[in-house]
């Protein structure tokens, strides 16, 4: 997505920046690690393919990506953060992503109509019904020495805050697949973008043996959809979305006032 191309998110311990071309060599090196490939269900790419993937993720309207960096030790204003300095290779530790998919079961889900109405849209005669979208999350702390410190949790909460802050703009870019609907225009209009889509729930699919990641998402309010892994050895966890808010996460994390 182009929505976040000029955005950075700073918390006490991590800095999230848009995935850019200068991050690719480091990211490519990470993804040569066989353990990371297994944990992320990824296939190794050539460096040229990795650059092409970065360009795709920047322009595709169904993908939102940040690179995770360690936060600067000195106080900085988030508006003064410049590329290739605080996000140089020695500061990069991972990435976090949102992928949007159309809900394949929507036509069979009568409750979806009521949920869409609850999101502020009533379908008029002759008007197409808003499509339900599913948001799939992925998070990776690539540097082993940075794991087990709570940085993945801090990253996840910051990323969810961003999604919850700009839901109308995220859906507007997905709907239009262009940059004509800017965040400023959409948010200034009170989020009224024609309601062609709405976010039904968030999910994450994790290898059944990746206990640390499963606990991470359970710890912020996600719940398993089944006690058994699927054919691919993955467990799925979900968090419901109500009027753009992740209420399950808010209750567990205790940050209703922050969101």
| Per-residue confidence (pLDDT) for residue 63, from 0 to 100 | 96
Which residues face 137 on adjacent strands?
98
Position 1 in a domain = no
Number of structural domains in the chain:
1
Position 192 in a domain = yes
Q: Which domain holds residue 159?
A: 9-253
Burial class of residue 246 (count of CB atoms within 10 Å of its CB; 0-12, 13-18, 19+): buried
Position 147 in a domain = yes
DSSP code for 242: B
209-258 residue pLDDT tens:
899 999 999 999 999 999 888 988 999 999 999 887 887 888 877 654 44
DSSP-derived 3-state class of residue 97: strand
Is 205:131 a contact under the CB 8 Å cutoff?
A: no
Position 3 in a domain = no
96-108 residue pLDDT tens:
999 999 998 765 5
Three-state secondary structure of 219-234: HCCCEECCCCCCCCCE
Residues of the chain with pLDDT below 70 are 106-128, 178-195, 254-259
Name the pairing type of β-strands 234-240 and 223-224: antiparallel
| Per-residue confidence (pLDDT) for residue 190, from 0 to 100 | 52
Position 108 in a domain = yes
CATH number of the domain to which 130 belongs: 3.40.630.30
CA nearest 8: which of 67, 90, 55? 67
In this prediction the pTM is: 0.84
What is the rounded CA–CA span in Å between residue 161 and residue 126?
36
Position 44 in a domain = yes
| Per-residue confidence (pLDDT) for residue 179, from 0 to 100 | 42
| Per-residue confidence (pLDDT) for residue 157, from 0 to 100 | 94
Tokens representing 129 are 């019904």
φ, ψ for residue 163, nearest 5 deg: -60, -40
């Amino acid at each position: 997505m182009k929505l976040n191309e000029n955005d950075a998110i700073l918390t006490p311990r991590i800095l999230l920046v848009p995935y850019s071309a200068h991050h690719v060599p480091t990211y490519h090196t990470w993804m040569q690690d066989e353990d990371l490939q297994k944990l992320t269900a990824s296939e190794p790419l050539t460096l040229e393919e990795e650059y092409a993937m970065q360009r795709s993720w920047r322009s595709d309207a169904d993908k939102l990506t940040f690179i995770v960096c360690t936060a600067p030790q000195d106080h900085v204003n988030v508006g003064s953060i410049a590329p290739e300095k605080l996000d140089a290779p020695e500061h990069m530790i991972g990435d976090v992503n949102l992928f949007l998919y159309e809900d394949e079961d929507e036509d069979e889900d009568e409750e979806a109509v009521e949920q869409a109405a609850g999101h502020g849209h009533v379908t008029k005669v002759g008007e197409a019904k808003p499509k339900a979208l599913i948001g799939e999350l992925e998070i990776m702390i690539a540097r082993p020495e940075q794991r087990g410190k709570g940085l993945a949790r801090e990253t996840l909460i910051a990323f969810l805050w961003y999604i919850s802050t700009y839901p109308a703009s995220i859906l507007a870019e997905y709907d239009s697949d262009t940059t004509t609907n800017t965040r400023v225009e959409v948010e200034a209009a009170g989020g009224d973008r024609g309601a062609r889509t709405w976010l039904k729930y968030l999910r994450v699919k994790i290898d059944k043996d990746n206990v640390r990641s499963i606990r991470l998402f359970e710890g912020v309010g996600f719940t398993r959809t089944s006690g058994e892994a699927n054919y691919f050895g993955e467990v799925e966890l979900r968090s419901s979305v109500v009027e753009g808010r992740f209420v399950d996460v808010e209750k567990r994390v205790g940050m209703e006032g922050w969101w």
